[in-house]
A and B are shown apart, each in its own frame.
Chain A
Amino acid sequence: MATITFENVAKIYSGQNEVRALDGISLTINEGEFVALLGPSGCGKSTLLNLLAGFEKATEGTLLFDGETVTRPGPDRGVVFQEAALFPWLNVWQNVIFGPQVQGVARADYEPRARDLLKLVGLEAFAGALPVQLSGGMRQRVGIARVLAMSPRALLMDEPFGALDAQTRLSMQQLLLDVWQSLGTTVLFVTHDIDEAILLSDRICVMTARPGRIMRTIPIALPRPRSIASLTSPEFMAYKAGIMSDMKV
């Protein structure tokens, strides 16, 4: 678990035509908090997440992870990608143990944990399958399991369920709620789905585009533990109406 601090962060992509992807981002995410970044396509959600992941460097401002400046990617910040980004030549089991393996963790330490995680995401019967033999939802579950195998202090998720059908997405959201409820890891979750943001998070940061800024921050006080049944409660609907008018949709 970890604290994340953005202080006046800006990101400019230089090139033929400069893009000011993020501007004046100030945001603190507390230990164990679940924060959703919500906004239209192109508003800089992925950019913000990539800065925190260490995949890109901020042009201005400071970005702290547990009080330390972020300089490069690392296993303390587990990233779940939209398209899973599993290694297609490794089977499910090998993908899940990749992290601990390259970090030199002893086999006896990571194997039981990896096995538990495969069971947790319901894929113990597919340990020997290649990613190409899995459905999109199953691939995403492997993506989550391989990140959890490293016991990261924070989870960074970039529209992890964006490419899934509605039904699969619901079951994945339920899975994530369950996992988070038991682990309590800090999560930064990027989405453009209002329902998803409300259902999962403690706080929603609504972003605007060009330049990408955080327009509003909305605390979600729905009771925990939540489940996908919360999606139809009156409180949920009230949050949704408020955000929709904010975003002018």
Chain B
Amino acid sequence: MSLSTERLSSRPATSPAPGFASLMLSPARRRSLRQGLLALVLPAVVIAVWQMAGTDGSLFGGVLPTPDRAWQAWKVWAFGSTGLSLNPYSGTWLANLVFSAERVGKGFAAAILVAVPVGLAIGWNRIASGALDPTVQLLRPIPITAWLPFSIAVFGIKDLGAVFLIALGAFYPIVVNTAQGARDVERNLIRAAMMMGAGRWTVLRRVVFPASLPSIFTGLRIGLGIAWTAVIVAEMVAVKSGLGYVLWDAYYVGRMDVVIADMASIGLLGLVSDRVILLIERWALTWRRLQSFQS
């Protein structure tokens, strides 16, 4: 009964080349391997120079620890026993990381839930644009750091304040990019949909939204970067847990090795979360990838 699109698109299986040939990497694999190695050169050089410039595990008269000391500090921070250790950070890495990631997750999700519909409305509907866009543009220049006192005053030293800052910071790039995407939808696609009997709501859902997805993802990636900035700022000031809190606390008690380990953790987490978005984007926008010059 149903015309199976899967069946039609599946290709006859090509038998894999056996034995000797499988030992050799395909040109594409080799190229990506080379790219990976190339990417590691600069960080390796910087770490090596940094390491060699230090004496007795530190640089600049004890201000900056060498990478191996930071590594040691991270191991204790990550795997040390919690309990009655003299080191207050011992074994708390994962817990703090989860605190921060959870706040980013909540704030970012809230930002998406509000910014995508608002952005689509601004880009698609003239009345919504007139009613909402000026306010967004008016508030946008206020940096999230300037919202800190407001946030603490309203929400107190609580999770909600941090989540608020993160959501606010991520909101702007998502809303602006979504609106731009919705404005740029090809006129003939909208005409085609209306010609086929689609009402305004259907056009929005089935044409404007998918056509805006590339811009939406651009906004998501920028927004996520801002979300990580916001969580660190908020935790340094407005809550008592998370990577940002540890960062400031460690600095305060002169544990620069923990500070460095913390910075590296934040960077890594930001990188991983960005890759996750990128993966979702590649999956959702196959049509787009096939259109691009590179493929």
* A residues adjacent to B (C-beta < 8 A): 53-55, 72-75, 77-79, 81, 83, 85-89, 91, 93, 98-99, 102-103, 108, 111, 114-115, 118, 124-133, 146, 150
Contacts and interface: CB of A to CB of B under 8 A. Distances in A.
A130 B290 contact: yes
Contacts of B210: 87, 89
Nearest to A50: B191
A3 B112 CA distance: 49
B291 A132 contact: yes
B196 A150 contact: yes
Contacts of A86: 192
A52 to B, nearest CB: 11
B193 A102 contact: yes
Contact of A53 (B1, B191, B197, B206): B191
Given A115-B3, A128-B9, A129-B9, A85 B189 contact: yes
Interface of B: 1-3, 5-6, 8-9, 186, 188-189, 191-198, 202, 206-207, 210-211, 213, 285-288, 290-291
In order of increasing CB-CB distance, the 9 nearest A-B pairs are: A128-B9, A99-B196, A85-B188, A128-B5, A75-B197, A73-B194, A103-B197, A73-B195, A102-B198
Contacts of B206: 87, 98, 102
Given A85-B188, A85-B191, A74 B8 contact: no
A53 B197 CA distance: 12
Nearest to B209: A89
Given A87-B207, A111-B1, A128-B6, A79 B286 contact: no
B195 A124 contact: no
B187 to A, nearest CB: 9
A79 B8 contact: no
Contacts of A111: 1-3
A133 B289 CA distance: 11
Contact of B8 (A85, A102, A128): A128
A75 B191 CA distance: 11
B194 A130 contact: no
23 contacts: A55-B191, A55-B194, A72-B194, A74-B195, A77-B195, A79-B192, A85-B191, A88-B287, A89-B211, A89-B285, A89-B288, A91-B5, A98-B196, A111-B1, A114-B3, A115-B3, A118-B3, A125-B8, A127-B3, A128-B5, A130-B290, A133-B290, A150-B197
Nearest to A130: B287
A152 to B, nearest CB: 9
Chain A CB count within 10 A is highest, among B196, B198, B287, for B196
A132 B295 CA distance: 12
A102 B195 contact: no
Nearest to B206: A102
Contacts of B192: 79, 81, 85-87
A124 B8 contact: yes
B207 A102 contact: no
B192 to A, nearest CB: 5
Contacts of A93: 3, 5
Contacts of A115: 3
B22 to A, nearest CB: 29
Contacts of A54: 194-195
A53 B195 contact: yes
Contacts of B6: 128
Contacts of A108: 1
